Homo-oligomer: A and B are copies of this chain.
Amino acid sequence: MLRTVDDVKNQLKSFVDGLTGTPEKMADKKYQMDKKVGTLKYTDLYPHDRNGAVVTETMLKQLTDVLIDFVHETNDRKCKVLDFQHPEEMKKLLDLDIPEEGLPLQTLIDDCALTLKYQVRTGHPHFFNQLSCGLDLVSMAGEWLTATANTNMFTYEIAPVFILMESVVLAKMREIIGWNGGDSILAPGGSISNLYAFLAARHHMFPNYKEKGQAALGAQLVMFTSDQCHYSVKSCAAVCGLGTDNCVEVPSDEQGRMIVSELERLVKERKAKGQIPFFVNCTSGTTVLGAFDPINPIADICQKYNMWLHIDAAWGGGLLLSKKYRHPRFSGVERADSVTWNPHKLMGTLLQCSTIHFKLDGLLLSCNQMSADYLFMQDKLYDIKYDTGDKVIQCGRHNDIFKLWLQFRAKGLNGFEAHMDHLMEMAEYLVERIRTEKDKFHLILEPECVNVSFWYIPKRLRTMPHNQNRIAELAKICPILKARMMEAGTMMVGYQPDDKRPNFFRSIFSSAAVQKDDVDFMLNEMDRLGQDL
């Protein structure tokens, strides 16, 4: 039984004596040494055992060593990105069972190590697969604290510091958008943020809708978005009772940007049917191509036809922080009525961290307020304007602010700007490399964001003219080459079809870990794995 300070002291001393070699070896040693919580169980921890101080501390430090090992591996270019196993194989490698009797703490630590062994290292410099890549260690530190503080964001009463942090950070983000005042909230992901925008728009324009529903209106409400938008916009129409048929997809141009004349034509078409166009979603950074819909012309149409302008900058929002890349992409953003912006994408904040901003103050509250007496009493000790719970459609709300606030403190506005510029430079470098190696790679379009879309060309297709036949062949290669990457475990790059072309690769730069030699590695590794295809 590990109960006294002396036990810990001896343990630590023998650990220090044993330290030799590289930091990596240190980590290993520590892990071996610490296998001392052994047969102890959760009942030996706080709060079950009031004297659980040492066991609790030992367990947490043992865990921390496992986590730090994972951080080392994630940042080690010699380590693999993943150890791929098919689901049925994976089940055999793990013990996922829920037991009748609880297991010893040591088994839990082993569970943690095994879980991380088979987890994809999304922060590895060779993970180019998702809009959220990277492992920002300051944000991670913030999330450890968030877990430890384990509170709920609905009232100042139980989250005083975090509530104030929300107010400071969200006000700064609105200022960056270009607004004075307004209101914002953090939501569990961009889809829910977009839902908030839709709800606020409907409530603002048709205040009876909250009580009466569709019966408050004689006519059908209609919303508009480009055919490249994120699928959550359409989901919104289903959830809110409009029906997806009343979420009109506006065609986009070759670059993936909404065609504004088509928007106007479709608005007129729906109006002619007696319907009520009320909401336009403008995407700033589409999911696949990274395209930016032209804000100013869309804002003109919204003004002309009295429609709410929402900007879904879940993906592209981070570029608001860069003087170099903000324009022309975000020119006119201040004309929007609402903006979704996910720090958990380009800004590298840990999942989840999504924000929704409104130009008008007071709308979130009047739209979502249900006035629960038991939480939002009017006779509290403090100024209740700080209670946010009645503004949201959740009740309990996870603390997503601390990790973002801490990042802002660490990087400052200048550091975030440098981060954005670095990501864009990596995308530009890849484009340049693809252009140079044009026998092996085919660039699909000049990117506006950090999404780079291209085909890999294996040896047998390098001399073939680039026509529909070749494209069909190149598309067939994508899933095979992706499977080879995953089986080799050396890197991950996503692929998908879109409405204009079959499968192609889309590489994402949203991790601060990626440097030029990682971009070189990506191309070389694709060629190594795929040249015989």
Total interface residues on A, CB under 8 Å, equals 186
Separation in Å of the A385 CB from the closest CB of chain B? 8
Residues from chain B with a CB closer than 8 A to the CB of A483 are: 381
| Contact pattern, A 391-416, Cβ under 8 Å of B = 1, otherwise 0 | 00111111100100110111111110
- Contact between B98 and A408 (Cβ–Cβ < 8 Å)? yes
- Contact between B23 and A138 (Cβ–Cβ < 8 Å)? no
Segment at the interface with B among A108-116, A294-302, A522-530: A108-116
Please measure, in the bound complex, the distance between the C-alpha atom of A86 and the C-alpha atom of B381, giving whole angstroms: 8
Please measure, in the bound complex, the distance between the C-alpha atom of A63 and the C-alpha atom of B116, giving whole angstroms: 21
Please measure, in the bound complex, the distance between the C-alpha atom of A137 and the C-alpha atom of B74, giving whole angstroms: 25
- Contact between A373 and B123 (Cβ–Cβ < 8 Å)? no
A169: interface (CB < 8 Å): yes
A1: interface (CB < 8 Å): no
Chain B residue with the shortest CB-CB distance to A148: B67
- Contact between B16 and A9 (Cβ–Cβ < 8 Å)? yes
Chain B residue with the shortest CB-CB distance to A377: B496
**Do A412 and B9 form a contact, CB below 8 Å, given A382-B87, A513-B47?**
no
A344: interface (CB < 8 Å): yes
Q: Which A residues between 3 and 45 are near B, CB-CB below 8 angstroms? A: 5, 8-9, 12-13, 15-16, 19-24, 26-27, 41-43, 45
- Contact between A52 and B75 (Cβ–Cβ < 8 Å)? yes
Residues from chain B with a CB closer than 8 A to the CB of A371 are: 231
- Contact between A115 and B161 (Cβ–Cβ < 8 Å)? yes
A306: interface (CB < 8 Å): no
A497: interface (CB < 8 Å): yes
**Do A188 and B152 form a contact, CB below 8 Å, given A102-B409, A210-B243?**
no
- Contact between B243 and A373 (Cβ–Cβ < 8 Å)? no
**Do A396 and B344 form a contact, CB below 8 Å, given A57-B23, A120-B151, A241-B241?**
yes
Q: Which A residues between 431 and 486 are near B, CB-CB below 8 angstroms? A: 479, 482-483, 486
Please measure, in the bound complex, the distance between the C-alpha atom of A242 and the C-alpha atom of B156, giving whole angstroms: 32
Residues from chain B with a CB closer than 8 A to the CB of A157 are: 120, 129, 486, 492
- Contact between B398 and A398 (Cβ–Cβ < 8 Å)? yes
Residues from chain B with a CB closer than 8 A to the CB of A100 are: 412-414
Chain B residue with the shortest CB-CB distance to A344: B396
- Contact between B63 and A145 (Cβ–Cβ < 8 Å)? yes
Residues from chain B with a CB closer than 8 A to the CB of A415 are: 42-43, 101-102
- Contact between B414 and A244 (Cβ–Cβ < 8 Å)? no
- Contact between A402 and B164 (Cβ–Cβ < 8 Å)? no
Segment at the interface with B among A214-222, A276-284, A322-330: A214-222
Cross-interface CB contact of A496 among B235, B374, B506, cutoff 8 Å: B374
Interface centre among A26, A84, A90, A213 (most CB of B within 10 A): A213
Please measure, in the bound complex, the distance between the C-alpha atom of A353 and the C-alpha atom of B210, giving whole angstroms: 28
**Do A351 and B120 form a contact, CB below 8 Å, given A63-B145, A239-B240, A408-B98?**
no
Residues from chain B with a CB closer than 8 A to the CB of A409 are: 98-99, 102-103, 107-108, 111
A189: interface (CB < 8 Å): yes
Chain B residue with the shortest CB-CB distance to A173: B98
**Do A189 and B96 form a contact, CB below 8 Å, given A54-B23, A210-B238?**
no
- Contact between B370 and A212 (Cβ–Cβ < 8 Å)? no
18 contacts between A and B (CB under 8 A): A9-B16, A23-B53, A26-B57, A42-B410, A47-B134, A47-B135, A48-B512, A53-B72, A102-B410, A108-B141, A108-B409, A108-B410, A120-B151, A120-B157, A123-B150, A235-B393, A374-B498, A377-B495
18 additional A-B residue pairs with CB within 8 Å, beyond A140-B148, A188-B398, A235-B370: A46-B75, A47-B511, A60-B71, A96-B164, A97-B168, A98-B169, A99-B409, A102-B411, A102-B414, A102-B415, A122-B151, A129-B158, A132-B396, A143-B147, A151-B351, A214-B214, A375-B496, A381-B479
